[in-house]
Amino acid sequence: MDNRNSGLLLLCRVQTLFCALPLAHVLETMRLLPIDPLPGTPAFLPGIALIRGLPTPVIDMASLLDVDGGSATRLVLLKVDARQVALMVDEVAGIRAIADHALQDLPPLFDDSGAAFVSAIGNLDASLLVVLQGTRLVPHELWTQLDAARSSA
């Protein structure tokens, strides 16, 4: 996230894991919509949903965070640069302002682990809280691939 100190975060739950999204990137929340699968995409990208007239890539947060047994009921629509992306979560818990001292950076040990979309970690009511960085949720090459697929469609 570009600004960790903005304060307001959208809390979402994926199984027992809470993840927080900076509210500045959130466009809206909605129910789960039909998803059209795309060939050759990774597992955390199940397909594309048509949201408000725009084909939007959908990211399965359970698959991304490697959490088993998720039952997504909501989509959180994010604005990433000029694009928008939707996240599949189990529940939207609400908007919360979390103090900076309750968060900490990801340990350096995870620098090369591919978890670059995690900007910080913390705890929320004795549960792990993961603060996501929306712009890094989808790798650049995947955007390119998606754009190629959209243009071909």
Contact residues for another protein (CB under 8 A)?
8, 10, 23-24, 26-31, 74, 92, 94-95
Task: Provide the minimum distance between the beta carbon of 38 and another protein in the complex, in angstroms, as a whole number.
Answer: 26
- Minimum CB distance to another protein smaller for 99 or for 109: 99
Rounded Cα gap, residues 139 and 147, in angstroms? 12
Overall size of the chain counted in residues: 153
Task: Provide the minimum distance between the beta carbon of 25 and another protein in the complex, in angstroms, as a whole number.
Answer: 10
- Minimum CB distance to another protein smaller for 79 or for 136: 79
Residue with tokens 């190629």: 148
Task: Provide the minimum distance between the beta carbon of 47 and another protein in the complex, in angstroms, as a whole number.
Answer: 22
Rounded Cα gap, residues 87 and 24, in angstroms? 15
**Beta-carbon contacts of residue 147 (< 8 Å; ≥ 6 apart):** none
- Minimum CB distance to another protein smaller for 31 or for 101: 31
Which one-letter DSSP state was computed for residue 103?
Answer: E
